[in-house]
Amino acid sequence: MSADLHVHTTASDGTDGPEEVVLRAKELGLKAIAVTDHDTVEGVEPALAAGYLNDLEIVAGVELGAEYLGKELHLLGYFINIDNNSLKNKLRLLMSERKKRILKMTQQVQNLGIPVDYEKVLAVSRSGSVGRPHLARVLVEEGVVKNIAEAFSKYIGFGCPAYVPRYKLKPVEAIKIISEAGGVPVLAHPGQNNAHERLDMLINAGLAGLEVYHPAHSQEQENYFLRLAGERGLIITGGSDYHGPGHKTGNRLGAVTVPYDSVKEINWYNRRKR
Ligand code: AMP
Ligand code: ZN
Ligand code: FE
Ligand code: FE
C-alpha cells in the first residue's frame, strides 16, 4: 500500500485534470495521493469527489513557492483546511500576482514583435494558477518555437528578454500559512536547490517534514536526506511531482511513492499538535 504525496493537476501547471489523476492513481493501485498544486487548492475538491467515487484517499495539499536570499524553495502543505480564510486570502493574492506577472511577460514577448495573446495564455491555464509553462505552451501552439524547452531558452527563461520574476513568499510566511490552515509543512525536493541549508530557520518556523523521495534526487541525495530527516526529527515524505505525461521531470504518476504509513504519520503529527 503506497502513496504518491506530490501531484499536480490542471489547477496549476499539470496537464491531467484532478479526476484523470485520480483514475490513473487507482489504476496504478495506489492507496492515496496528495494533490499539491502550485499556489492553489482548486484541484482538491474535484479530486476528493473522484477519490470518493473510486475509493482513493486524497490528501488536501498545496505547494507554495518561496524565496530566501535569492534562492527559490518550495513548501508542501498536507491536510490543509481548504476553506481556511487566511489561506484563501493569501492564495487569492498569489493568483493575482501570477496573472499580473504573466501579463507583463506576454507584453514583453509582444514587444519583440511576436503576436501572442494574453487571453490565450489564461485559457491554457484554465484560469488556474498561471505560470511560465502556460505561456510556453501558447508559444509552441502558435509556432513561435518548436518546443517548451526552446520557449524557455529563447524567451522566458531566467535572464531571457521576456523574463519577469514571480512574486514569492518568504519561507517563514509560507510555513505560517500552511500551519494556520491546519496543515503540516514539508520542505519539497531539497536536492533541487540545496534548501536544506536553511533547515534551522525552517524548523524554527514550524517545518515538520522533508521530501526525501523525489524524481530529481540522486541515490546519494536520498541517503543524505534520509539521515538528515532522522537527525532532525522530520517526517519523511516523497512523491513523483507528477505534471502529466509530456513533462520533462515528473512525467510518471507513482514513479516515486512512500508507504501508506507515511500518510498516517503526517495525520498523527497533525492531530497531536492541536
Ligand atoms: P513559474 O513558476 O511560472 O516561474 O514557472 C516555473 C516552472 O516552469 C517550473 O516549475 C518548471 O516546471 C517550468 N520550467 C522552468 N524552466 C524550464 C525549462 N527550461 N524547460 C521547461 N520547463 C521549465
Ligand atoms: Zn509545476
Ligand atoms: Fe516544486
Ligand atoms: Fe511540484
**Do residue 198 and residue 263 come from a single domain?**
yes
User: What pLDDT was estimated at residue 4?
Assistant: 98
Determine the pLDDT at residue 246. 85
Residues 117 and 243 occupy one common structural domain: no
Number of domains the chain contains: 2
Structure-block grid coordinates of residue 198: 536553511
CB of residue 133 inside a 6 A radius of ligand 1: yes
166 lines ligand 1 (CB under 6 A): yes
Residue 101 lies in a domain: yes
- Nearest Cα residue to 235 out of 182, 168, 184, 167: 184
Instruction: Report yes or no: 101 and 91 within 8 Å, Cβ to Cβ.
Output: no
Residues 77 and 108 in one domain: no
| 182 and 233, same domain (yes or no) | yes
Residues 78 and 111 occupy one common structural domain: no
The kind and range of the H/E element at 85 are: helix 85-111
Which CATH number goes with the domain that contains 230?
3.20.20.140
241 in a structural domain = yes
**98 contacts 165 by C-beta, under 8 angstroms:** no
- 10 Å CB burial of residue 3 (0-12, 13-18, 19+) is buried
- Cα 146 to averaged position of ligand 3 atoms, centre (Å): 25
Is 45 a domain residue?
A: yes
Quick check: 274 pLDDT over 80? no
Please tell me the number of the ligand nearest to residue 242's CA.
Answer: 4
In a domain, 162, yes or no: no
In this structure, the answer to whether residues 95 and 69 fall within a common structural domain is no
Task: Give the pLDDT confidence of 79-121 residue by residue, as tens digits.
Answer: 999 999 999 999 999 999 999 999 999 999 999 999 999 999 9
Residue 107 CA to residue 118 CA, distance in Å, equals 8
Return the percentage of the chain with pLDDT > 90, whole number.
93
Q: What average pLDDT does range 44-57 have in this prediction?
A: 98
The pLDDT assigned to 1 comes to: 92
**Whose CA is closest to 35, among 71, 14, 3, 7?**
7
Check if 152 has its Cβ closer than 6 Å to any atom of ligand 1: yes
* Residue 130 belongs to domain spanning: 91-156
pLDDT level of residue 34 (50, 70, 90 thresholds) = very high
Domain-ending residue, one of 107, 128, 156: 156
137: Cβ below 6 Å to ligand 1?
A: no
Q: Are residues 151 and 218 in the same domain?
A: no
**Domain annotation covers residue 165:** no
Residues 137 and 216 occupy one common structural domain:
no
Alpha-carbon separation of residue 193 from 142, 172, 181, 207 (angstroms): 33, 17, 26, 17
Same-domain pairing of 185 and 257: yes
